[in-house]
Structure 1
Amino acid sequence: MTTLVARPDRVRLAGQRQRAMMTAHQRLMILMLLFIVAIIVIGGRTLAFAFIDDAHGSGRGGSAMIPARADIVDRNGVPLARTIDAYSLRVVPSRLMNDPRRLAADLAAIFPDTSADTFYAKITGKNPTLLRRRALPEEVAAVNALGEVGFEYPRVKERLYPQHTLAAHVLGFTGADHRGVIGVEKAFDERLSDPALRGEPLVLSIDSRVQATLESELYTAMVNLEAQGAAGIVLDVSSGEVLGMASLPVFNPNKIVSGSNAARKNAVTYNLYELGSTFKPLTIGKAMDIGVVTSMSRRYDATKPLKVGRFAIHDSHNMGRWLNVPETLIHSSNVVTAQIADEMGQAPLEQLFRSLGFDNRPQIELKERAFPLWPRSWGRLTTMTTSYGHGIAVTPLHLASAYGALVNGGTFYPATLLKTERGRQPAGKRVFSEATSARMRQLLRMIVVDGTGTKADAPGFRVGGKTGSAEKPSAGGYAHHSLVSTFVAAFPMDNPRYVVLAMIDEPKGNAYSSGQRTAGWTAAPVVRNVVMRIGPMLGIIPDQNRDVDLSDLEPLLWKPKGEN
C-alpha cells in the first residue's frame, strides 16, 4: 500500500512580506513610545516629590533631598535630633460610616492618653479635625484596621529625638510650627532651618557616652539620697567645650506634656545657688595672685568664730587651732577664708568675680540663662561672706567655667555647646597667673587626698576638687535642713583636661550616705564614679604610679601624735 503526501504550493503575493515587516515595525515603535512616556511620567513624579513640598508637611520649605530642619548630632556623629516623615490622624465627620460612640471607644483604646469623650466630641463635629498630630506606624495600622473610611492619615514633618531623654535640657524641643522652643533647638533655630545650611548637621560638643554616664550617676544618687533634683557638667578646660550637661528630673522631648514646666528648667544654666565652700579656692587663688598670700605656712587664727559687728562667722567643724593655707582648704574653714578676704579687700575679690562672669548670665549659646544674684552693696561683711560662697548666687555653669580657669594655667574660656575644630584654640582671657594655677592644682589634689573630698578619689585619675555644702536661703535667713551639696573637680590634676561638677539638691541623710547630707558624702562619690567611667572613653588611662607632687606641702599638715 502506498501513502501519498501532498504539499500545497506556497502562494507568494507581491509585496506581502514587506507589508508584514512594516506592520511589525510599527507595533514595536508604538510599544517603545509607550515605554518612553511611562518613564517620563515616573521620572517627573519623582522629581516633583524631590523638589515640591509635601502638601501635609511643615509648610516652611524642604524636600526629600534636603531635610526640612537640620539634624543635630553629637561630637562623634551620633544623631540627637532629626526630622522625619510621620503620620497624623484626621477625621472627616461627613464620611463616617460607623457608630461614633464605638469609634471613640476604639480610638481611646489605641491612644490611652486621650479619653473617649474627647474623641467623640471631635468626630461628631461638622468640620474635618485633626485627632492626633503624630501617630506611630503601629497606631495608624490599628486605626486602619477599624475599617472606617472617614479617617485620613496625612503625612507630616516631625522632629524626632532618637535618644529619648538623653541631653533633653541641652537639645530642647520644637513647637507645632517647627520652630525651636528651648535649648539648642531655640538657640540655633535660624541655623537649623536655613535652606542653605540644613543639609549639614549641627555638630555639638556633647559626647553622648559622657552624657549618658553623667545622667546615670546623678540619677542613681538623686534616688538613693531622696533628693529634689540634681545637676552636673563635664567641661573641657582648654576649650570650654561641654561634653556633658545634665539636669534632673528630666523630660522626654518626643512627648511634651503640659504642666511639666518645672522639669524643663535647666538647673545648670538657669537655676541659681549659693555654692558655698567651692568659692574658697577662687578667693585664695586671687589672694596669691596679688601677694596677700605669699607663704603656704602662714597661720591664721581659727580657734573661735570671727566677729564682724553684730555678726559672727563660724566653721562647721571648729578645729580649735591656727590653720595654714593648705589646712584651710582641707578642713574648709570659713573663718580663715574670711580673714584672707578681709586682708585682700573688696576691690580685688569683686574684680575676680566680674572677670569670671559672676555678674552676668553664664556664657553659653543657650537662651535659658539666669542672671546671678549679685550683692547690692560691697561692705566689709559682704567681702568676707562672698569669699566662701554666701551672699552671692550663681549657676553651676558659672562655677565649672571658673574652675576650668583655675586649673588650666589661668585662662578663662567661655563655655560652648559647639564642637571646636581640632587645632583651633578659642579666645580666652587670663584671670589667674600660671604660678597660682600650678599651686592650686596641688591644693585641690590635697583636698581629695587628705581633706573633705576623699570620697571623690578615683584611683589612678589624680582627681582634685572642692566640696561645698550651702544652706538654701529662705524667708528671714537660711533653711538649716535644706542643703545644696556640690563637688567640683578636675582630672588628671597633673595635667588637667576636664572639669566635672556634681550637685545634689536637698539630699537626705540616710543609710546610703551614712546619715550625712554634706557634699563630701553625697556629691563627691558621684564625681568619682563619673571620672572612673568616662576617663577611658576620653583617652585617659588610669595610672596609679603617677600623681601630683605634694612633697613641699604635705609637711605643713598637722597630724595628731602617733600619726605618720
Structure 2
Amino acid sequence: MNTLVVRPARVRTAGVRQQILLTAQQRLMILMLLFMAAFFLVSMRLLYFAVFDTSTGRGSGSAAFVPARADIVDRNGVPLARTIDGYSIRVVPEKLLNNRQYLADELVKIFPDTTREEFLAKLSGPRPTYIRRRALPDQVAAVNAIGDVGFDFPREKERLYPQLSLAAHVLGFTNAEGHGVTGVEGAFDDRLVNKATRGEPMALSIDARVQGVLESELGNAVTNLEAIGGAGIILDVHSGEVLAMASLPTFNPNKLTGSDPTTRRNAVTYNLYELGSTFKPLTIGAAIDNGVVTSMAKRYDATKPLAIAGFKIRDSHSMGRWLNVPETLIHSSNIVTAQIGDQLGREKMEHLFRDLEFDGRPHIELKERAFPLWPKDWGRVTTMTASYGHGIAVTPLHLASAYAALVNGGIWRPATLMKLGDKAPPQGRRVFKASTSARMRQLLRLIVSDGTGRQADAPGFRVGGKTGSAEKPGVGGYNRTSVVATFAAAFPMDNPRYVVLAMIDEPKGNAFSSGQRTAGYTAAPVVKKVVMRAGPMLGVFPDETRDVDVSELTPLLWKNGEKE
C-alpha cells in the first residue's frame, strides 16, 4: 500500500513580507531619482542654449524661417512675388556615361526651345554647366529618367510670381543670381535681401483686383482695335498711391527665356508720347489761374484755321463758329486753345509745365523712367502748339500726376508704389488755385456728359476727363495714319478720389470702334468699363442722385438745334 505525502504550502511570515515591500520601495525610489536627474540635465541643457549659446541660439533658429529675399505683396496682402526652393538641372561632362549625341537628342525632346547644338556644346564642355535653371518638376523627372550620373539636380532659391503676368512691369524680375533687375525688384533690391528687413513682406500700393481689371479691359481694347500696345494707370489723387499700372504688350516674369525683350518696357513710365488734347485742360487751368481767362462766356474765333509762322493750326472737327471756354473743351478746339496759350505767353506756359515736372523724369520709385522731350525753342509757335499737347513728349505717368493736381484742389504730389497705410501722404505743393481746380472739375465733367468723352460716362460714377488723339511724329512731319489715343479722367468728380488714364497706341479704325481711331471711340470706353468694375473695389459706388453742379455752365453751351 502506497502512502501519499503532501508538502504543506510555505507560509510567509510578516517579517519576510515587510522585507519585500522595503526592497520594492527602494528600487522605485532609485528609478525616480534617475528620472529626476535626467530631467534636470535636459532642463539645464535647454537653459544653456537659451541663455548662453549665441552661435546656435535664437538668432539662427529664427533665421531658418527668414526667406532669402523678401516677399512682395499687394496692399491687401496678396502675394505677388516670393522665394521658394526650386530645382535646377546641371551636367558634369566628365561624369557622363552615355554617348553625347544620344543625350543631346533626349534633351531636345524635353526642352524643344533649345537647339541640339547648344546641348552638345554643354555636354562636351570642360566644366559643369546648367542645362536649365528654374526647371519644372516634370522636366526634372524626365532628365532623371535618362539615367545618367552626369546629371545632377541642385536645389536653388527661385523667385516665383504666383500671379503670372499680373503687374509684371511693376514687379520686374530677378537675374540668375537672385538680384533684382527691373521694376520693384530692381529698385528695392537692397531692402529685399537685407537680413534686417527681408523677414517682412514689402507691401505695394497696388491692389491686385484693380490691377486685374485694368489689364483685362486694356488688353481687350488693344486686341480688338489691332493696336501695337497700350498703357494705363489708376492713381489716388490725394496720396499719389498707384492702385494699378499696366503696360501692353506684357510678359511673364516666371518665363523670361525666349520672350521678347521689348515687351519688358514699361510704357507708363518709360515711353514718351505727345499726348495731344489731354493737355488742353492744363492750359485752360493755367489761363484761369493767371487771369487770362476771366469769363466762361467769352468767345473766341474758331471759324477758320489759325495762321502762324507759315503754317496753319486746324481743328479736326471744325465747328465753324465762335466758341467759349466750355465749348472749346467740349469740342476740343486746337484753334481756340492755341489763342489762349498765346495770350498766356511763353513764360507762364513754361512755368506751368515745370511746376508739373514735365521737365524731368516722372517721380516714382522705379528705375525705368524716361526723360521728357522738352522743346528746344520756346518761341511763340511752340507755346501755341504745346498748349494742345504737340511739340512736347512726356510719359503717361507725367499726365496722370498732372490730372491729380488739376482735380484734387490744386496740389501736385509724386506718385508712389508703396502702400502708405497710416503714414501721411507727401505734403506736395500748390500748382493750381483751389478755385481753379473746382472750375476744372466742372469743365471735365461737361466733356464727358456733353462732349467728346461721352463714351466714358459710367452711370452713377460722375466721370470727368479729356480725350486726346495725337498723330505720331516721324520723318518729315506727323504720320496721319499713326495715332496715340488717350483718355485722362477722374472720378467721382463731385469729390475726386482717383485718376484713371487709358492710352491705346496706334488703334485701327475697325468695326469695334465704328471705324474711328480717335480717343472718344477707343480709349474712353476703356475708362468707362474700368470705372464700373473697379469703382466698387475702391469704395466708390454708383449714385445717380449726385453729380457735379454745372448749372451755371450749361446755358453757355450752344444747342440751337445742333447735335452736341
TM-score (norm 2): 0.90
What residue is the counterpart of 1:129 in the other structure? 129
Paired residues for 1:444-483 under 5 Å: 444-483=444-483
What residue is the counterpart of 1:372 in the other structure? 372
CA distance in structure 2 between the partners assigned to 1:556 and 1:303 by the alignment: 18
**Structure 2 contact 405–431 (Cα < 8 Å) conserved:** yes
Question: What is the number of equivalent residue pairs in this alignment?
Answer: 550
CA distance in structure 1 between the partners assigned to 2:373 and 2:423 by the alignment: 37
1:174 counterpart SS class: coil
AA matched with 2:521: W
Q: Deviations over 1:337-382 (max 9, x none)?
A: 0111111111111101000000111111111111111111111111
Task: State yes or no: 1:247 paired with 2:247.
Answer: yes
CA distance in structure 2 between the partners assigned to 1:527 and 1:442 by the alignment: 19
What residue is the counterpart of 1:404 in the other structure? 404
Any stretches of 5+ residues in structure 1 without a counterpart? 54-61
CA distance in structure 1 between the partners assigned to 2:202 and 2:270 by the alignment: 23
1:268 counterpart SS class: helix
Q: Deviations over 1:101-135 (max 9, x none)?
A: 33333333233322344333323444333222222
Q: CA RMSD in A?
A: 3.4
AA matched with 1:130: Y
> 1:326: Cα distance to partner?
0.3
Q: Deviations over 1:500-553 (max 9, x none)?
A: 000000000000000000000000000000000000101111011111111111
CA distance in structure 2 between the partners assigned to 1:4 and 1:385 by the alignment: 138
What residue is the counterpart of 1:139 in the other structure? 139
> 1:443: Cα distance to partner?
0.4
Paired residues for 1:308-327 under 5 Å: 308-327=308-327
Task: State yes or no: 1:504 paired with 2:504.
Answer: yes
Paired residues for 1:303-452 under 5 Å: 303-422=303-422, 424-452=424-452
> 1:76: Cα distance to partner?
0.6
Paired residues for 1:251-290 under 5 Å: 251-257=251-257, 260-290=260-290
> 1:252: Cα distance to partner?
1.0
Q: Deviations over 1:64-96 (max 9, x none)?
A: 321111111111111111111111112233433
What residue is the counterpart of 1:182 in the other structure? 182
What residue is the counterpart of 1:59 in the other structure? none
> 1:393: Cα distance to partner?
0.5
CA distance in structure 1 between the partners assigned to 2:235 and 2:326 by the alignment: 26
**Aligned CA distance change for structure 1 residues 7 and 122 (closer, same or farther; 3 Å):** farther
Q: Deviations over 1:363-421 (max 9, x none)?
A: 11111111111111111111100000000000000000000000000000111111113
What residue is the counterpart of 1:237 in the other structure? 237
CA distance in structure 1 between the partners assigned to 2:450 and 2:550 by the alignment: 11
2:244 counterpart SS class: strand
2:270 counterpart SS class: coil
> 1:257: Cα distance to partner?
2.8
CA distance in structure 2 between the partners assigned to 1:232 and 1:7 by the alignment: 108
What residue is the counterpart of 1:223 in the other structure? 223
CA distance in structure 2 between the partners assigned to 1:533 and 1:549 by the alignment: 25
AA matched with 1:120: L
1:181 counterpart SS class: coil
Task: State yes or no: 1:149 paired with 2:136.
Answer: no
Deviates more, 1:104-113 or 1:348-357: 104-113
1:495 counterpart SS class: coil
What residue is the counterpart of 1:193 in the other structure? 193
AA matched with 2:65: M
1:490 counterpart SS class: strand
CA distance in structure 1 between the partners assigned to 2:6 and 2:142 by the alignment: 74
1:416 counterpart SS class: coil
> 1:63: Cα distance to partner?
4.8
**Aligned CA distance change for structure 1 residues 362 and 7 (closer, same or farther; 3 Å):** farther
> 1:136: Cα distance to partner?
2.2
CA distance in structure 1 between the partners assigned to 2:499 and 2:330 by the alignment: 19
2:268 counterpart SS class: coil
CA distance in structure 1 between the partners assigned to 2:561 and 2:417 by the alignment: 51
**Aligned CA distance change for structure 1 residues 321 and 120 (closer, same or farther; 3 Å):** same
Task: State yes or no: 1:104 paired with 2:104.
Answer: yes
> 1:97: Cα distance to partner?
3.6
What residue is the counterpart of 1:56 in the other structure? none
**Structure 1 contact 50–65 (Cα < 8 Å) conserved:** no
AA matched with 1:252: N
**Aligned CA distance change for structure 1 residues 148 and 407 (closer, same or farther; 3 Å):** same
CA distance in structure 2 between the partners assigned to 1:2 and 1:556 by the alignment: 145
Deviates more, 1:130-139 or 1:305-314: 130-139
What residue is the counterpart of 1:165 in the other structure? 165
> 1:8: Cα distance to partner?
12
What residue is the counterpart of 2:527 in the other structure? 527
2:80 counterpart SS class: strand
**Structure 2 contact 240–425 (Cα < 8 Å) conserved:** no
**Aligned CA distance change for structure 1 residues 404 and 516 (closer, same or farther; 3 Å):** same
TM-score (norm 1): 0.90
Paired residues for 1:481-492 under 5 Å: 481-492=481-492
AA matched with 2:121: A
> 1:7: Cα distance to partner?
11
Task: State yes or no: 1:547 paired with 2:551.
Answer: no
Q: Deviations over 1:4-46 (max 9, x none)?
A: 888999xx9xx9x99xx99xx99x989x99xx99xx9xx99xx
> 1:451: Cα distance to partner?
0.3
What residue is the counterpart of 2:13 in the other structure? none
Q: Deviations over 1:472-499 (max 9, x none)?
A: 0001110010000000000000000000
> 1:562: Cα distance to partner?
8.1
Deviates more, 1:382-391 or 1:148-157: 148-157
Q: Deviations over 1:312-334 (max 9, x none)?
A: 11000110100000000000000
AA matched with 2:416: T
**Structure 1 contact 50–64 (Cα < 8 Å) conserved:** no
2:118 counterpart SS class: helix
What residue is the counterpart of 1:296 in the other structure? 296
